[in-house]
């Protein structure tokens, strides 16, 4: 399927696409081919201000709009996303570099599900929080990263508007196209102007938005470094804040696990979306007695991964989102080599253009090693061993992050015990990277605070 992409886009403010006040544009490219896809508006302080003014004005009516009516808009957005899912999946893959199989079978169904789920909450908020009067916060500034562009937009927008807030969203500079296509859908369903505004631009645009004085709530998903900067800027203001940040999640395999299934879980945990996943299972902890078996099977499985054209439905590993991210990953590969761990990669040929990284495994990594501590955000995994469940817990929790964890065991009591011990927002047992709009997602420690999804996620958008 070929998707149409306009040669140039403006910001989406007050229900219309408008040219940037500065007249400046930047290029959005396809990371698998390095071709320019479109030119996007560079958001200045004046553009941000226009969007916040529109959102403020719209808030007056949207916050008082009947709950069933709000639900109707969310429902129609969800339906329209389903109807245009193929086009949106192709656009996401072209802009972002992720395999079409993933954008089609994972991202898009979850995007629609998120709007359906929140459509259902609109008229049940009083029921969800008995004894309180569920009041929206006001204007929400939302800033998102490039790894799940449309899904992150849905995670942000759906609960915010379901609760009666209005939104100014800034997608990541390298992946704004699906958010702009979502803006077209908002026009199609005749969402009242100003309820959702979308401003494109870089980190400076994000800063102008999150620091705007007439914003009531900031919701940020991205790196821990930028998250801390935003938290500092919000501290002396009235703004509410939620942060979804980085991770270095453990995937823990016990000797009594179904080993083949666990190896699949490791592959899904770290090579899904090229490892550019905040909750990626980037540290694999393996019980000593099955260490060799797991590593051998993992290597065999890695050799079968198909890297290449993201639009090919047989592709397992697509392109890295940007040159900058590829360079970051390559730096970690060099550090990994010098940290004296053994290195294995799939040795597959790489396309001549675009940004590519082979799935890579470092074995025998010390817990103190840089590659075992820092988020790489690429298809790079390291393995470590443990002897007892207590040691597994200690190693797993020995990190500043706490976003997710995986546990592989056939023993239910052990899985439950581990889930209680692990300091992480999500613990998966005998699976990994499963998401559901009804299930809250979010971090402990430096992985952030606030939840997205389910009843807990609504709290982030209510007084
Ligand atoms: P990032 O550099 O922190 O950027 C995230 C967003 O913030 C982008 O839209 C970025 O704009 C914008 N931004 C940059 N500087 C800013 C500033 N000073 N003020 C306001 N906004 C600013 O993160 P990234 O590299 O895009 O994404 C990767 C990170 O996101 C990883 O650490 C990953 O773990 C995390 N993440 C977390 C979750 C979660 O749910 N916990 C989910 C996905 C990703 P530009 O990109 O246009 O410069
Ligand atoms: Mg792009």
Tally Cβ neighbours within 10 Å of residue 382: 27
- Distance from Cα 146 to the centre of ligand 1, integer Å: 8
Ligand 1 atom nearest to CA at 246:
34
Mean local confidence (pLDDT), 279-287: 98
178-213 pLDDT, tens digit per residue, is: 999 999 999 999 999 999 999 999 999 999 999 999
Q: Which residues surround ligand 2, an ion (CB under 5 A)?
A: 28, 95, 174
Q: What gap in Å lies between CA 375 and CA 250, rounded to an integer? A: 12
Q: Decide if pLDDT at 340 tops 80.
A: no
Mean pLDDT calculated for residue range 276-284 = 98
Active site annotation includes 244 = yes
Tell me if 49 CB under 6 Å of ligand 1.
no
Q: For residue 221, which phi and psi values (nearest 5 degrees)?
A: -125, 125
Q: Which of 203, 207, 401 to mutate to test the pocket of ligand 1 (most atoms within 8 A of CB)?
A: 203
Reading the block at residue 265, the tokens are: 């879980």
Which residue puts its alpha carbon closest to atom 42 of ligand 1?
278
- Closest among 248, 155, 225, 156 to 443, alpha carbons compared: 248
Distance CA 16, CA 10 (A): 9
Per-residue model confidence (pLDDT) at position 225? 96
pLDDT higher than 80, residue 220: yes
For the stretch 239-272, pLDDT in tens is 999 999 999 999 999 999 999 999 999 999 999 9
| Predicted pLDDT of residue 247 | 98
Indicate the Cα dihedral angle 421, 425, 430, 433, nearest 10°.
-160
Say whether pLDDT at 387 is over 90. yes
Q: Please tell me the distance between residue 174's alpha carbon and the centre of ligand 1 in angstroms.
A: 11
In the reported structure, the alpha carbon of residue 327 is separated from the centroid of ligand 2 by a whole-number distance in angstroms of 16
Any atom of ligand 1 within 6 Å of the Cβ of 403: yes
13 lines ligand 1 (CB under 6 A): no
pLDDT tens string 38-73: 999 999 999 999 999 999 999 999 999 999 999 999
Average pLDDT over the chain reads 97
CB of 230 closer than 6 A to ligand 1? yes
Half-sphere exposure of 339 (CA within 13 A, CB side): 21
Ligand nearest to the CA of 146: 1
Atom nearest to 230 CA in ligand 1: 19
Share of the chain above pLDDT 70, in %: 100
Instruction: Answer yes or no: 234 catalytic.
Output: no
The strand pairing partners of 252, in sequence order, are 285, 407
225 CB-contact burial (10 Å; exposed 0-12 / middle 13-18 / buried 19+): exposed
Give distance in angstroms: CA of 131 to centre of ligand 2: 46
Residue pointed to by tokens 């015990």: 417
Please tell me if the CB atom of residue 203 comes closer than 6 angstroms to any atom of ligand 1: yes
């Amino acid at each position: 399927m070929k998707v149409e992409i306009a040669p140039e886009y403006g910001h989406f403010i007050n229900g219309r696409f408008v040219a940037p006040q500065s007249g400046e544009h930047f290029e959005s490219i396809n990371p698998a081919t390095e071709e320019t896809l479109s030119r996007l508006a560079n958001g200045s302080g004046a553009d941000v201000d226009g969007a916040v003014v529109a959102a403020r004005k719209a808030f007056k009516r949207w916050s008082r709009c009947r709950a069933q009516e709000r639900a109707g808009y969310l429902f129609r957005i969800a339906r329209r996303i389903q109807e245009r899912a193929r086009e949106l999946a192709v656009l996401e893959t072209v802009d972002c570099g992720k395999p079409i199989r993933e954008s089609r079978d994972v991202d898009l169904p979850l995007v629609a599900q998120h709007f359906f789920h929140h459509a259902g909450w609109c008229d049940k908020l009083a029921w969800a929080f008995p004894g309180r009067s569920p009041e929206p916060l006001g204007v929400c500034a939302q800033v998102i990263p490039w790894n799940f562009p449309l899904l992150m937009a849905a995670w942000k927008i759906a609960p915010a508007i379901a609760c009666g807030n209005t939104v100014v969203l800034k997608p990541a500079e390298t992946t704004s196209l699906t958010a702009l296509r979502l803006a077209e859908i908002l026009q199609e369903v005749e969402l009242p102007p100003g309820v959702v505004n979308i401003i494109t631009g870089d980190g400076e645009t994000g800063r102008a938005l999150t620091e705007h004085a007439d914003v009531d709530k900031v919701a940020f998903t991205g790196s821990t470094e930028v998250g801390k900067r935003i938290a500092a800027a919000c501290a002396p203001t009235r703004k509410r804040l939620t942060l979804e940040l980085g991770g270095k999640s453990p995937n823990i395999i016990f000797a009594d696990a179904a080993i083949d299934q666990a190896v699949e879980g490791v592959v899904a945990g770290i090579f899904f979306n090229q490892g550019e996943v905040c909750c990626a299972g980037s540290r694999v902890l393996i019980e000593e007695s099955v260490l060799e078996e797991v590593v051998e099977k993992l290597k065999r499985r890695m050799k079968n991964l198909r890297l290449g054209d993201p639009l090919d439905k047989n592709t397992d590993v697509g392109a890295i989102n940007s040159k900058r991210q590829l360079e970051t990953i390559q730096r970690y590969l060099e550090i990994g080599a010098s940290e004296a761990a053994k290195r294995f990669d799939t040795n597959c040929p790489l396309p001549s253009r675009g940004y590519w990284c082979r799935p890579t495994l470092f074995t025998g990594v010390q817990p103190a090693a840089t590659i075992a501590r820092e988020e790489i955000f690429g298809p790079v995994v390291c393995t470590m061993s443990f002897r007892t469940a207590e040691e597994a817990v200690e190693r797993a929790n020995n990190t500043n992050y706490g976003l997710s964890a995986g546990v592989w065991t056939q023993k239910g009591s052990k899985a439950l015990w581990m889930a209680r011990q692990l300091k992480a927002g999500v613990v998966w047992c005998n699976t990994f990277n499963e998401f559901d709009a009804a299930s809250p997602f979010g971090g402990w420690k430096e992985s952030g605070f606030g939840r997205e999804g389910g009843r807990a996620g609504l709290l982030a958008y209510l007084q």
